[in-house]
Amino acid sequence: MMNCELNSYLETIEPELRVLTRLFGFAESVWNEPKKFVPLTAERDGQFIIRFEADGRCAERAVSAPEDTDERVRTLHRRRAARRLCKQTLYDLLREITGIQPPWGSLTGVRPTHLMLEALAEGLTPEDAVRRLVREFDVSPSRAALLAEIAAEQQKLPAPGDSWMDVYIGIPFCTTRCAYCSFSSGEIGDGSLVGPYMAALIREMRACAEILKESGRQLRALYVGGGTPTALPQEAFEQLLAETLFCFPGAMEYTVEAGRPDTLTRAKLRAIRQAGISRISINPQTMNDRTLEVIGRAHTAQQVRDAYALAREEAIPHINMDVIAGLPGENEADFAHTLEEARKLHPESFTVHTLAIKRSSRMSLEKHPLPDGEMTARMVDAGRETARAMGMVPYYLYKQKQMAGNLENTGYALPGHACLYNVDIMEETSHILAMGAGGISKRIWPEEGHITRAPNVSNILEYISRTDEMISRKRELFPPLK
C-alpha cells in the first residue's frame, strides 16, 4: 500500500540517497537507470515501512511513526523518522550488494555526535549507547566509542540553554585563496574593500549588541573567523578588536582565527593579548613546503614555526593548530612529518581534518580526485595517536560530504582547553548571532528539534550595500524580550 503522507516526507531525499550510493562506489549514472533505487513505502499499524529492491536483493525496515499533540512538532518528527528510515534501508541494501562496510555505517550527516547525545539523554549508559549505534546504524565499534568519549568531554562544559547566545564575526579576506576552500572569502588584494567592509561590519555589530541585550540573553562564546581576520591591516585589525570588546564584553571565551602564519606580526599578536583574547588558531594544514605551494597557501613551514614562536613570546595562552589528512600528492610519510612538527610546537588544541573537496573550491572545479580512502584513514588514525601522545582528548567531531574515505574531522584539546564555540556550532545547541559576509545566525528550538536560520549574503559588495537588511533579518529572528 503506497502512503501519501510518508512519500511527502521523502520528496526531496534523492540528494541524500545519492551520497549513500557514492559511498559504496556507485557512479552518478546509476541514477539514470529507471527504478534502480526507488523506495517502496507503506504505513501499517502505526509504522512507517520502507523497502528497496535492486540486483535481485532486497532490504526492508520499519519504525513507529512518531506522535505528538502539536501538529507542527508531529510533522517535524515524522519527517525526520521517515528520512532516517529511508537512508538506513538503502544502506542495508547497498551493503548487501557490495559487501562494503563504511566506518560510519549508515550515518552520512555532518553531526554523528547528535545520536550519542540523544541516546545518553534517554538514559542509556555510554556502553549501551555505543551498542545502539553499532547495532542500529552499523557504526564501527571504534567510531562509536570515539563518540562516547567526545560526549563525555562535552558534558563537562557549561551547559547551553535558551538564555545564552554565541556571537560570530566574519572577516572574509585572505592573502590568497586555498585550493580546497569554499568559504565566502576573497583575496584582500589592494585592500580597497577593507574600509567599506569594516564600516558596514561595525554598523552591524553595534546593532547586534542591541539585539543581544534586548533579547534578554547573555553572551556565551565569541569567535572571530573568516577568511583570516589577521589578514586585515594593523589599524583595521585593532579597530576590529576594539569594537568587538566594546559591543560584546564578558564572554566566557574569545577566539580569533589567525590561520595564515604569513599574516601574523608581533604588533597584531600584542593587540590580541592586550585585548584579553586567550585563544588563537594558527593553521598550517601541512608542514611540507611542496604541498603548501600546491594548495595555494603562499607561506612556508618555517613561517609556521616562526609564527608559533612569536605567539609564545607574546604570551598567547592558547594556540590551536589544524592539519589536513589526504592533501594532494601527500603520502603517509608526508603526513607523519606534519604530525611530528605539530608535536614539537605543543599547541593547546589540535584539529585533524580529512580533505573534503567542495563544489565551489578550485580543487573541485579542476576535478582533483579524492585521495585513497584507506591511506587517508591511516593518516587520520595517526593524527589521533599524535593528539593522545600530546595529552589531548577528543572534544568535537563533524563530517562533510565529498570527504575522503567517508571519514571525519576531530578536534582534540588538553584538559580544560576545549573550545566552547566549536562545540556549540557543531552540535547546534546554542543560539548564534552572526555578523559579516556569509555569517549565518541560528535560533535553536530544542523542544521541537528545529533550527531557524537568518543568513547574511556572502558577496562582500552586496553585504556592504545591504547591511541594514542583514540587521533586520536578525531582529526578526531574535525579537526583544516582552
pLDDT tens across 240-265, in order? 999 999 999 999 999 999 988 999 99
**What DSSP letter does each residue of 327-381 carry, written as one string?**
-TT--HHHHHHHHHHHHHH--SEEEEEE-B--TTSHHHHTTPPPPPHHHHHHHHH
pLDDT above 50 (res 18): yes
Task: Determine the Cα–Cα distance for residues 423 and 240; give it in Å rounded to an integer.
Answer: 24
Please write the tens of the pLDDT for every residue from 150-201: 999 999 999 999 999 999 999 999 876 555 555 455 556 678 999 999 999 9
Predicted pLDDT of residue 264: 95
Q: Which amino acid is present at 277?
A: I
Strand ranges in 203-245 using DSSP code E only, listed in sequence order: 218-226
User: Contact at 8 Å (CB) between 325 and 284?
Assistant: no
Task: Using a cut of 0.85, tell me whether the model's pTM lies above it.
Answer: yes
> How far apart (Å, rounded) are the C-alpha atoms in residues 218 and 399?
30
Phi and psi at residue 57, in whole multiples of 5°?
-125, 160
Burial profile 104-116: b = 16 or more Cβ within 10 angstroms, e = fewer: bbbbbbbebbbbb
Distance CA 74, CA 46 (A): 13
Distance, in Å, from the CA atom of 404 to the CA atom of 335, rounded to the nearest integer, reads 15
Helix (H, G, I), strand (E, B) or coil at 256: strand
Do 264 and 311 form a contact (C-beta atoms < 8 A)? yes
Q: Which residue has the cell 574593500?
A: 193
User: What residues have CB less than 8 Å from 298, skipping those under 6 apart?
Assistant: 175, 176, 262, 292
Q: What's residue 261's pLDDT?
A: 92
Which 8-state DSSP code applies to residue 176? S
pLDDT at residue 363 is higher than 50: no
Other beta carbons within 10 Å of 90: 24
